[in-house]
């Protein structure tokens, strides 16, 4: 079987798996978030938090609860790192330096999981489990909660509330993420992923090697990071490490986990608004963008349009021979189309145009299908912008799902869209404008610029992956990228929740002859077009200075 044929089979089998799980998982999540009954475990958590599960919140209270939880989480994760040497299960690790601890705490709480350190030589077992792995769950559950709050905004009429943050957080963690992670960890252990608390000496003996390796709960952390679309791995080389991703089928399974919840959430959305076909329209937009990206990334990498790949016959630099070019390209596309950031190859070694695709995927806003929850609410904001553009074309007040899109709604949607470009372009400009920022580049010229651009794009979009050629474990980069992560996460969330509150308070608008149908292929194509055009207009100059310039040089 040729590499191209194998790659096609790999992608098609993933698509079939997504189709099979879309409906049952989407319906299950609908029942989780709309059910009236709490489980016994949830009632225990609510009592501990002092929360009344039946009490709903205005969007502003919902936002304050979310921000309070996140601030406390940052302080806890930061504190555990700073006192690590005094903790049990520290694996002999010293306290984490303040700037790295700050960056890591921000990173994991914002669901970015950018790692400016080598995991196996920096973090002990307790910090990996009690701080980082816990955030793999709850930070993903926060994104899901925000998405569900926005969907309630569309579904409710003349309502003052959008749900209860604490209920959404607990249900998402205990009923959705935890059960799937438990089952997924068993599958990965069966596939050869390590799950233990062995010492470096014990693991070295077991593998017959002489290298210094740190053992740990790799299987559980691996499935949590993929399921929660997080990039942080136990090992520095992430999913390229054979302890984290041993075989081609575990590679397939990890991509499946990355895409699982984001591709099922549109079904949940359709059920909650009472129009399943609206969910299918959103899913179609996500799938169209995803398929186009995966195909183009594979074409650029298999074609090897660069000097060295053409000389040796394949773009194999930075790729594991266990996976090959195509499976590595598919993993790269999946991880940047979502807010995962996990990698099984070295994106810095991709061809110029293949590397550009990983950048472009993140610049789309990671909405195809995007992060857990974040992808859905990002796509719904783009749908709001699209109906406004369509309304301008026909001279009619835009409507979406029976709600008028007025000045307030468009301001919030516009602010949401502008946050990330401002952070990415400003951060890149500041880094390129000072000596410390430029000194971190491994390469000069367009590729070096691409490394910096990728770092700020990844941080601002809460992705977590990196080109890898830029040295970011310095105080300047740890602070700068940490600021991008925290602003890139919470400013959009505030705008989304404000939009949810505004929509929920509206009275329904009856459908008329002039209402734009938002469930048909024409609307799907319009959303795809608006998304691509907005991103192209915003980021094309930066891409022209980096990967495009490198590709034609």
Helix axis angle, 352-363 to 445-460, nearest 10° = 30
Q: What was the pLDDT predicted at 310?
A: 57
H-only helix segments in 304-351: 307-312, 324-337
3-class secondary structure, 511: coil
Residue 345 phi, psi (nearest 5): -155, 170
Token match 């959009």: residue? 492
Q: What was the pLDDT predicted at 203?
A: 37
Q: What was the pLDDT predicted at 331?
A: 95
Pairing of strands 399-400, 403-404: antiparallel
Distance between CA atoms of residues 148 and 482, nearest Å: 27
Q: What was the pLDDT predicted at 201?
A: 34
10 and 326 in contact (C-beta within 8 Å)? Answer: yes
Is the bond leading into 210 cis (omega within 30 degrees of zero)? Answer: no
Q: What was the pLDDT predicted at 460?
A: 96
Q: What was the pLDDT predicted at 69?
A: 97
Residue-by-residue DSSP string for 80-146: HHHTGGGSTT-TTPPPPPHHHHHHHHHHHHTT----SS-GGGT--HHIIIIIIIHHHHHHHHHHHHH
Distance between CA atoms of residues 109 and 464, nearest Å: 12
Q: What was the pLDDT predicted at 443?
A: 83
pLDDT beneath 50, residues of the chain: 199-215
3-class DSSP string for 202-267 = HHHHHHCCCCCCCCCCHHHHHHHHHHCCCCCCCCCCHHHCCCCCCCHHHHHHHHHHHHHHHHHHHH
Q: What was the pLDDT predicted at 419?
A: 97
- Here the tokens at position 150 are 């926005």
Distance between CA atoms of residues 81 and 91, nearest Å: 13
Q: Within 10 Å of residue 259's Cβ, how many Cβ atoms?
A: 24
């Amino acid at each position: 079987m040729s590499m191209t044929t194998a790659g096609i089979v790999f992608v098609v089998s993933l698509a079939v798996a997504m189709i099979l799980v879309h409906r049952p998982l989407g319906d299950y999540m609908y029942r989780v978030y709309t059910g009236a009954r709490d489980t016994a475990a949830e009632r225990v958590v609510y009592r501990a938090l002092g929360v009344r599960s039946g009490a709903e919140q205005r969007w502003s209270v919902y936002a304050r609860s979310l921000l309070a939880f996140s601030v406390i989480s940052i302080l806890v994760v930061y504190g555990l790192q700073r006192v690590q040497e005094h903790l049990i299960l520290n694996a002999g690790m010293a306290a984490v330096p303040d700037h790295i601890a700050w960056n890591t705490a921000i990173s994991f709480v914002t669901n970015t999981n950018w790692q400016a350190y080598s995991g196996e030589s920096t973090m002990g077992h307790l910090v990996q489990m009690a701080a980082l792995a816990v955030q793999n769950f709850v930070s993903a559950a926060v994104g899901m909660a925000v998405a569900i709050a926005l969907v309630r905004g569309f579904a409710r009429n003349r309502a003052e509330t959008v749900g209860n943050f604490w209920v959404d957080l607990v249900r998402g963690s205990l009923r959705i993420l935890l059960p799937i992670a438990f089952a997924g960890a068993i599958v990965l252990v069966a596939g050869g992923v390590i799950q233990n608390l062995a010492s470096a000496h014990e693991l070295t003996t077991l593998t017959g090697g002489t290298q210094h390796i740190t053992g740990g709960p790799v299987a559980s952390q691996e499935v949590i990071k993929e399921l929660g679309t997080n990039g942080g791995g136990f090992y520095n080389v992430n999913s390229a490490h054979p302890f984290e991703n041993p075989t081609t089928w575990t590679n397939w399974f990890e991509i499946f986990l990355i895409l699982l919840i984001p591709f099922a959430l549109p079904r949940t959305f359709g059920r909650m608004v009472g129009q399943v076909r609206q969910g299918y329209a959103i899913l179609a937009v996500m799938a169209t963008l995803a398929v186009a990206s995966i195909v183009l990334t594979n074409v650029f990498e298999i074609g090897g349009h660069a000097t060295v790949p053409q000389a040796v016959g394949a773009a194999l630099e930075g790729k594991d021979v266990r996976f090959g070019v195509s499976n590595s390209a598919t993993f790269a596309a999946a991880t940047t189309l979502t807010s995962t950031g996990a990698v099984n190859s070295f994106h810095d070694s991709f061809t110029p145009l293949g590397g550009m695709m990983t950048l472009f995927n993140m610049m789309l806003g990671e909405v195809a299908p995007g992060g857990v929850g974040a992808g859905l609410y990002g796509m719904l904001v783009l749908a709001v912008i699209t109906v406004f553009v369509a309304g301008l074309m026909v001279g009619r007040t835009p409507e979406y799902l029976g709600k008028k899109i007025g000045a307030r709604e468009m301001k919030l949607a516009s602010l949401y869209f502008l946050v990330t470009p401002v952070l990415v372009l400003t951060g890149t400009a500041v880094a390129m404008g000072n000596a410390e920022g430029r000194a971190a580049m491994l390469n000069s010229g367009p590729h070096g610029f691409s490394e910096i651009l990728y770092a700020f794009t990844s941080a601002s979009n809460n992705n977590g992956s990196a080109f890898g050629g830029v040295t970011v474990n310095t105080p300047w980069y740890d602070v700068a990228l940490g600021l991008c992560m925290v602003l890139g996460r919470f400013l959009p969330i505030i705008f989304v929740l404000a939009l949810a509150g505004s929509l929920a308070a509206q009275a329904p608008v009856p459908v008329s002859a002039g209402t734009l149908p938002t469930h048909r292929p024409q609307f799907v194509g319009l959303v795809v077009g608006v998304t691509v055009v907005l991103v192209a207009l915003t980021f094309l100059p930066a891409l022209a200075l980096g990967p495009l310039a490198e590709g034609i040089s």
